[in-house]
Amino acid sequence: MSPALLLAAAATMFAVLPHAARGGMILGTLVPMALGIALAVAASGRVSAFSLAVGAIAAFVGQMGWLLSPALGGALLVSLAYTERLMRVREIPGRAIHGALSFVGGACAGALASGYASAPLPVRGVALVVAAVLCAGPLLTAADDARTALLESAAAALTGPVAASLRAGADLLRCADPRLLDRDTASKVKSSWRSLERLVEARLRLQNGAAPRSETATLVVTMVERQIIEHVQSLTRAYTAATTKGAAEVGLDDSALQGVHARGEALEEESRAIVEVKAS
């Protein structure tokens, strides 16, 4: 999801909250809930049942807290909206920083939105932009994206070669640079990642359901796992080939090398000429 969506959802939410208490069913309940879901989805970077539920809860709890204090309501709203992303931060210190940024940023955003709720429109607009930027503070903390988290969780739930392949896929997502891919390859790689994601979700559903008992179910599990492994292998090959091609293209561009070599030879010739003149 684009950070622009998060900024837009946060700014709109804090524009609505100061007036939600007297806004009736639509402005007071439905609109904040929709904005809370949008904020949580934008913070998560992925539409999922968890992010949708968290967004609705964040909107409700934020509104209840707002009645006590706008700063408290903003802090609770933003902190809860970032719950799914917080879980993807790998290091404990990073989680603490992420949580602090979301809580403090939300509190400051709530105080700003409340303090300038009756200000002239241009002043209020600036306050809402600042509030939205404060809500984006946790994005400064590194976290795995939603797809990487899915592969990691699937690797922890499964065993054998498919688990190892999923861990390799997660590492590939963290380390690979998609900018090295040309447009056609990038399109195919993007499609392959989406297919891999669907396969992993299907495999997890099979894992979480009843244990396969029929021969057909076992064959389906084997087929899905084989496709997962092949997808990761193909993706790894694509990124490796793109990296190799980029390095080869850099190696072919030896104009700078030739230039400095020619300049070095010219300087040597000039030095020999000076010595010869001096000797004569």
Does residue 134 or residue 212 have the better pLDDT? 134
* Continuous H helices in 136-214: 146-157, 161-175, 183-208
pLDDT-derived band at 258 (thresholds 50, 70, 90) equals low
Establish if 9 belongs to a structural domain: yes
Beta carbons of 114 and 18 less than 8 angstroms apart? yes
* Continuous H helices in the chain: 3-20, 24-25, 31-44, 49-68, 70-81, 83-86, 92-115, 121-135, 146-157, 161-175, 183-208, 215-252, 255-279
Q: Among 108, 140, 172, identify where a domain stops.
A: 140
Choose the weakest-confidence range: 39-43, 86-90, 271-275: 271-275
What pLDDT was estimated at residue 166?
92
Give the tens place of pLDDT for each residue, 89-108: 878 888 999 999 999 999 99
Q: What percent of the chain has pLDDT over 70?
A: 84
Phi, psi of 254 (to 5 degrees): -110, 25
Do 84 and 156 lie in one domain? The reply is no
Q: Distance of CA 169 to CAs 62, 88, 102, 233, 239, Å?
A: 37, 16, 30, 9, 11
Do 132 and 157 lie in one domain? The reply is no
What pLDDT was estimated at residue 280?
63
Establish if 276 belongs to a structural domain: no
What pLDDT was estimated at residue 74?
95
Q: What is the mean pLDDT of the chain?
A: 85
Q: Domain range spanning residue 60? A: 3-140
pLDDT-derived band at 111 (thresholds 50, 70, 90) equals very high
The answer, yes or no, to whether residue 225 has pLDDT greater than 60, is: yes
The answer, yes or no, to whether residue 187 has pLDDT greater than 70, is: yes
Instruction: List the one residue out of 187, 279, 181 whose CA is nearest residue 237.
Output: 181
Q: What percent of the chain has pLDDT over 90?
A: 42
Cα 265 from Cα 258, distance rounded (Å):
11
What pLDDT was estimated at residue 19?
85
Do 189 and 129 lie in one domain? The reply is no
Do 13 and 78 lie in one domain? The reply is yes
Q: What is the dihedral of CA 244, 250, 253, 258, to 10 degrees?
A: -110
Q: What is the mean pLDDT of residues 104-128?
A: 93
Do 57 and 159 lie in one domain? The reply is no
The answer, yes or no, to whether residue 1 has pLDDT greater than 60, is: no
Q: What is the mean pLDDT of residues 241-253?
A: 69
What pLDDT was estimated at residue 89?
86
Do 101 and 12 lie in one domain? The reply is yes
Beta carbons of 44 and 84 less than 8 angstroms apart? yes
Beta carbons of 153 and 145 less than 8 angstroms apart? no
What pLDDT was estimated at residue 254?
60
Do 158 and 82 lie in one domain? The reply is no
Do 205 and 245 lie in one domain? The reply is yes
Q: Among 110, 140, 170, identify where a domain stops.
A: 140
Do 125 and 182 lie in one domain? The reply is no
Give the tens place of pLDDT for each residue, 125-170: 999 999 999 999 998 888 877 788 888 888 888 889 999 999 999 8
Does residue 262 or residue 11 have the better pLDDT? 11
Tell me the torsion sign for CA atoms 151, 152, 156, 159: positive
Do 58 and 184 lie in one domain? The reply is no
Q: How many domains does the chain have?
A: 2
